[in-house]
Amino acid sequence: MSTTEDYGTRLYGFDQPLEQERIGLIGDVFDAFSRRRLADLGPLAGLRCLDVGAGPGTVAAWLAGQAGPDGEVIALDRDASLLREANHPGVRVWEADVDTAGPDLLPPPGFDLVHARLTMSHLPGRRRVLPRLASWLNPGGRLVLSDVVNTMSAASPSFAVRAMTQGYDQALADTLGSDLNYARVYPTPLLDVGLTDVGLAADTPLVWAGSPTIRFWELTFAAMREEVIATGFVDAAGFAEAMRHLTAPHTRELGYTLVTAWGSRAR
């Protein structure tokens, strides 16, 4: 797919107004789900872990606490500025693009756990990255992937919200090459690269006025307002109506669903 820019260069770049607030809210919205899904896979003490697309590193920091002094946690991101700023104890920061960097610029393989949240769906080269991630696992090691699917486009009682979120998904595809339908096919991609003991779970944060969830989506949608309107799914008035609905005191509904898939490398 031909796209006009890379994720994080202009749209959602860490230097953009309000982006650090938005990226920080990802942890408030999704960390509890990620911690639960990772913990459910078994003890993490002593494991060598890689967090891909780590952002500000909240999951990596939690993994470091779980892995303990006998484990290792590497947080990998194309732009590691937030990781360096956070300086999480026990987390080794590695700056590289998992999509395009050569092997000499990436962490040495041999991980017991590789985790990537809200990363694969935004990588234009996701189909070549997934086999790379799987190949970095030790025998018995697990790959855990989490990405969102658009529950709002079907579940919201507001026509404007349904139209706007469809436009948002299309704008992401047109502009950044993202695919918010990618997680709809989980866990098949993990089976395709030969992983076993494959599983799947879904968690849907609720949207209500004043919640971290609605603030996250408010900032997320607003950052791409012009691109969303350009898709033709919604006009300026419809976009404004959707945002009014989402932030209204009475709103109580489903947000985007976080789909998590996992699988193990054969021993």
- Domain ranges across the chain: 19-264
In terms of Cβ atoms closer than 10 Å to its own Cβ (0-12, 13-18, 19+), residue 122 is buried
pLDDT for residue 96 is more than 80: yes
Summarised one tens digit per residue, pLDDT across range 48-66 is: 999 999 999 999 999 999 9
Question: Whole-number mean pLDDT of the chain?
Answer: 93
Omega before 205 within 30 of 0, i.e. cis: no
The answer to whether 242 and 225 are in contact (CB under 8 A) is: no
pTM of the complete model: 0.94
The pLDDT value recorded for residue 13 is 72
Summarised one tens digit per residue, pLDDT across range 182-222 is: 999 999 999 999 999 999 999 999 999 889 999 999 999 99
Q: Which CATH number fits domain 19-264: 3.40.30.10, 3.40.50.150, 3.30.70.260, 1.10.510.10?
A: 3.40.50.150
Higher pLDDT, 13 or 140: 140
The pLDDT value recorded for residue 8 is 56
pLDDT for residue 127 is more than 70: yes
Residue 39: HSE in the Cβ half-sphere, 13 Å Cα cutoff: 11
Confidence of residue 2 (pLDDT cuts 50, 70, 90): very low
- In sequence order, the 6+-apart residues with CB closer than 8 A to the CB of 103 are none
